[in-house]
């Protein structure tokens, strides 16, 4: 199984997203577990689209409380009520632009698990941490705080996204960077969950595109790819996915 998804961030309209989903849902390869994270306004509308069973919709964020005086926030119960079973937590933009901390992300992880949501937990070191040789320390901290007290994460996926590789103007990660970060994430998960770690897919994200996806997708430590800009058009989504799958099938026919 290969995981492949995109975060649409704060882009697009319902109409555009409907066309996007219809296009990527058509002939979606069966060996893929695909997901799309649209903005909330599109999310509910899109639950009425007919999607293949291996294409899942998810939210980009949520609050940790089930309800309350939290103006502008969306709760886990509201997501479930809207028919959503997947939520991303801890994206670098939430951490850096909206002040989310390891401990608020932890509260969200607990709330998501309590409400039976599949969690896509994003972690990644900043450029300062990388340059100071603190990548392992940063990833270990983010994972252990976020997952504190969760003995068996039922539906957990982790996305390793180095902050310095995300978005416009970012650097591309080398294969060595990806291997080091992914292996660290897997080591930390193994120390927390032992043998169950094999059940936790770890995806790589950050400037993944049609040119570099094959080299990342064929690394042993990569269970999937999490793509931003390069997958926001249906053609791009399909091209990156197709190239990744082709490279994987050629690497281990
Ligand atoms: P990018 O975004 O692929 O555009 O760098 C990745 C992300 O934010 O998850």
Q: 100-116: per-residue pLDDT in tens?
A: 999 999 999 999 999 99
Question: What pLDDT does residue 223 have?
Answer: 97
Residues within 6 Å of ligand 1 by CB: 7, 161, 166-167, 170, 205-208, 226-230
Cα–Cα dist 145/149, whole Å: 9
**Phi, psi dihedral angles at 181 (to 5 degrees):** -65, -45
Question: What pLDDT does residue 131 have?
Answer: 96
Q: Which conformational region is residue 194 in: left (phi greater than 0), alpha (psi within -120 to 50 degrees), or beta?
A: left
CB 159 within 8 A of CB 226: yes
The active-site residue, picked from 91, 93, 100, 125, is: 91
- Whole-angstrom CA distances from 214 to 4, 120, 209, 224, 243 are 13, 22, 9, 11, 6
Question: What pLDDT does residue 198 have?
Answer: 73
Question: What pLDDT does residue 194 have?
Answer: 87
Q: Which of 225, 222, 219 is nearest to 207 (CA)?
A: 225
- Neighbouring CB atoms inside 10 A of 133's CB total 8
Instruction: Output the CA 115–ligand 1 centroid distance in Å.
Output: 27
Q: What is the pLDDT along the chain (253 residues), one digit of tens a residue?
A: 999 999 999 999 999 999 999 999 999 999 999 999 999 999 999 999 999 999 999 999 999 999 999 999 999 999 999 999 999 999 999 999 999 999 999 999 999 999 999 999 999 999 999 999 999 999 999 999 999 998 766 699 999 999 999 999 899 999 999 999 999 999 999 999 987 777 899 999 999 999 999 999 999 999 999 999 999 999 999 999 999 999 999 997 6
Q: Is 93 designated active site? A: no
Q: Which atom of ligand 1 is nearest to the CA of 166?
A: 5
Instruction: Output the CA 116–ligand 1 centroid distance in Å.
Output: 26
Question: What pLDDT does residue 153 have?
Answer: 64
| DSSP SS3 for 145 | helix
CB 159 within 8 A of CB 121: yes
Cα–Cα dist 47/115, whole Å: 19
CB 101 within 8 A of CB 67: no
- Whole-angstrom CA distances from 24 to 51, 180, 234 are 9, 32, 6
The active-site residue, picked from 93, 125, 129, 161, is: 161
The dihedral sign for the CA sequence 139, 141, 147, 153? positive
CB 7 within 8 A of CB 42: no
Question: What pLDDT does residue 196 have?
Answer: 73
Residues 6+ apart with CB under 8 A from 253: none
Q: Is 63 designated active site? A: no
Give, using CA atoms, the residue closest to atom 3 of ligand 1. Answer: 228
Find the largest Cα–Cα distance for the chain: 54
Q: 208-242: per-residue pLDDT in tens?
A: 999 999 999 999 999 999 999 999 999 999 999 99
> Does the pTM exceed 0.85?
yes
Q: Which atom of ligand 1 is nearest to the CA of 209?
A: 3
- Neighbouring CB atoms inside 10 A of 154's CB total 11
- Mutational pocket test of ligand 1: of 157, 162, 205, the residue with most ligand atoms within 8 Å of the beta carbon: 205
CB 151 within 8 A of CB 107: no
- Mutational pocket test of ligand 1: of 170, 227, 231, the residue with most ligand atoms within 8 Å of the beta carbon: 227
């Amino acid at each position: 199984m290969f995981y492949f998804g995109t975060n649409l961030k704060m882009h697009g309209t319902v109409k555009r997203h409907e066309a996007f989903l219809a296009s990527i849902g058509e002939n979606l390869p069966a060996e893929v577990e695909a997901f799309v994270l649209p903005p909330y306004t599109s999310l509910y509308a899109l639950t009425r689209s007919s999607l293949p069973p291996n294409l899942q919709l998810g939210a980009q964020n949520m609050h940790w409380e089930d309800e309350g005086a939290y103006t502008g926030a969306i709760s886990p119960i509201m997501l479930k009520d809207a028919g959503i079973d997947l939520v991303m937590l801890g994206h670098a933009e939430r951490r850096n632009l909206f002040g989310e901390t390891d401990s608020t992300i932890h509260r969200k992880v607990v709330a998501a698990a309590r409400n039976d949501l599949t969690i896509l937990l994003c972690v990644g070191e900043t450029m300062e941490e990388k340059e100071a040789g603190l990548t392992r320390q940063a990833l270990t901290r983010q994972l252990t705080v976020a997952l504190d007290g969760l003995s068996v994460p039922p539906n957990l996926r982790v996305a390793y996204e180095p902050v310095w590789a995300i978005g416009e103007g970012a650097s591309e990660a080398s294969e060595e960077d990806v291997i080091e970060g992914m292996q660290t994430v897997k080591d930390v998960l193994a120390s927390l969950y032992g043998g169950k770690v094999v059940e936790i897919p770890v995806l790589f994200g950050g400037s993944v595109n049609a040119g570099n996806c094959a080299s990342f997708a064929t690394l042993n430590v990569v269970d999937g790819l999490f793509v931003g800009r390069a997958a926001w058009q249906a053609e791009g989504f399909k091209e990156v996915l197709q190239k990744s799958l082709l490279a994987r099938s050629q690497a281990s026919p």
